[in-house]
Amino acid sequence: MGQGLSCRIRDDHGLFTAVQFGDLEIVKTVLDRDPSLIQQTTVYDRHSALHIAAANGQIEMVSMLLENPSVNPDSLNRHKQTPLMLAAMHGKITCVEKLIQAGANILMFDSLNGRTCLHYAAYYGHSDCLQTILSSARTSHVAVSWGFSRFVNIRDGKGATPLHLASRQRRPECVHILLDNGGSIDCIRELLAWGADRLNRDASGRIPYAVALKHKNGACAALLNPSSAEPLVWPSPLKFISELNQDAKALLEQALMEVNREREKTILKGTGYSMPSPSHSDVTASDDDISEASDSQLCCICFDQLCAIEVQDCGHQMCAQCTLALCCHNKPNPTTASLTAPICPFCRSNIARLTVVKVKINAADQELDLYSSPKQRKSRRSLNLSEGSSSFRGLSFGKMVGRSSGRVSLDNGRIDKP
């Protein structure tokens, strides 16, 4: 994540090299000769000596540096990453513990993706670091100022919680720890819609369903129960889905969540949890929209929703829900799943591209994007559709790479970045 140590480091005095390899004597000698060097950082990434020591797991070096009152445990590099973030990323548990003991703030965000040390530990699968950070959150000012549950479900700049990252990177132990500590039903719903496996097991052999039952979370348990119906899953392997423009993507993602919420109403019966009902104003606005729409604007498949998606190049139109019925599917077996693109139900041609329908529904012939079904759509004013803006932002994850656990080198490159 850009926290690598640049090859262009000026290290004439040998301080950073000695810190990297844990040579306490050289570091002491250099600092005795010139104490101001303790404040020096690398040229490009602005790593302090504490960043380098924490990333490389040099616990004795970390301890010695923290004894200096001029050393800030929350010092920031070029990307506003703290030594604690780097230690959590590389799984240096002793350094994580020492930094937290020294007062490092667990509620700081980097400037790359708006992530905390909890995101780093979850993404790279360091369950021991994750557990230590969560334990600290229970007893620190974070629990008072933010609330522990809010911290567990904290979102980065792209809307991803630590649970999202751990699931997408297939870190089952971290997933179970986060569920143990209060992962929200909203996170579970989104994870399942993106293809999370309900049969993943942690080190103790428990599936998420068992964890939810242990903590008496009936709603989460109902959704995670392997015997309950699978939700619809976002069809990411399909090429034309990966090439969707943002408006169409947001519309279909919203429709996917709506379809799964309808399924959940049946599953959640008897759990004491119910889905929120639409407000009276929403129902009124929807009814008005239906009355304004002509028969030609209604989906010719379900005759219930307004057409919102157009198939190109044939030009046939459907509502978002019927489009999902063609493109989405229950979670497939990866060994037998077919990635053949679906076909248009009207002309039987292959679906190569989907776009959002532009329709004119008022006297001024103003073009509006339809971002949801008429029965569940919010008022036009709240959605601000007349400006063509999307009110539904789907989850978006940046390009991520695998787990990094090796030594941070001053000579040959940068630390991996998601």
> Do both 211 and 269 map to the same domain?
no
Residue with tokens 């819609």: 193
> Do both 200 and 290 map to the same domain?
no
Q: Is 19 within a domain?
A: yes
> Do both 205 and 264 map to the same domain?
no
Q: Are 161 and 153 in contact (CB under 8 A)?
A: yes
The pTM score is: 0.57
> Do both 32 and 102 map to the same domain?
yes
pLDDT for the residue 12:
55
pLDDT for the residue 377:
39
State the Cα–Cα distance between residues 355 and 274, nearest whole angstrom.
Answer: 34
> Do both 197 and 310 map to the same domain?
no
> Do both 312 and 174 map to the same domain?
no
> Do both 192 and 103 map to the same domain?
yes
pLDDT digits (tens, 9 = 90+) for 290-302: 444 444 588 888 8
CA-wise closest residue to 327 among 316, 342, 313: 342
CA-wise closest residue to 129 among 177, 183, 68: 177
pLDDT for the residue 329:
55
Distance of CA 60 to the CA centre of its chain: 34
Average pLDDT in the chain: 75
Q: Is 399 within a domain?
A: no
> Do both 63 and 87 map to the same domain?
yes
Q: Are 383 and 376 in contact (CB under 8 A)?
A: no
First to last CA, the chain: 5
Domain boundary among 174, 204, 230: 230
Domain boundary among 230, 251, 277: 230
Tally of structural domains, the chain: 2
Residue with tokens 């942690």: 202
Domain boundary among 198, 230, 262: 230
Q: Are 285 and 379 in contact (CB under 8 A)?
A: yes
pLDDT digits (tens, 9 = 90+) for 129-160: 999 999 999 888 887 788 888 899 899 998 88
Lowest mean pLDDT among 49-53, 56-60, 156-160, 358-362: 358-362
Q: Is 127 within a domain?
A: yes
> Do both 23 and 65 map to the same domain?
yes
Q: Which domain holds residue 208?
A: 15-230
Q: What is the CATH number of the domain that holds 57?
A: 1.25.40.20
The better pLDDT of the pair 210, 375 is held by 210
Q: What is the CATH number of the domain that holds 247?
A: 3.30.40.10
> Do both 213 and 295 map to the same domain?
no
Please give the average per-residue pLDDT across 52-60, as a whole number: 97
> Do both 275 and 381 map to the same domain?
yes
User: Quick check: bond before 313 cis, omega within 30?
Assistant: yes
Q: Is 60 within a domain?
A: yes
> Do both 256 and 224 map to the same domain?
no
pLDDT for the residue 116:
97
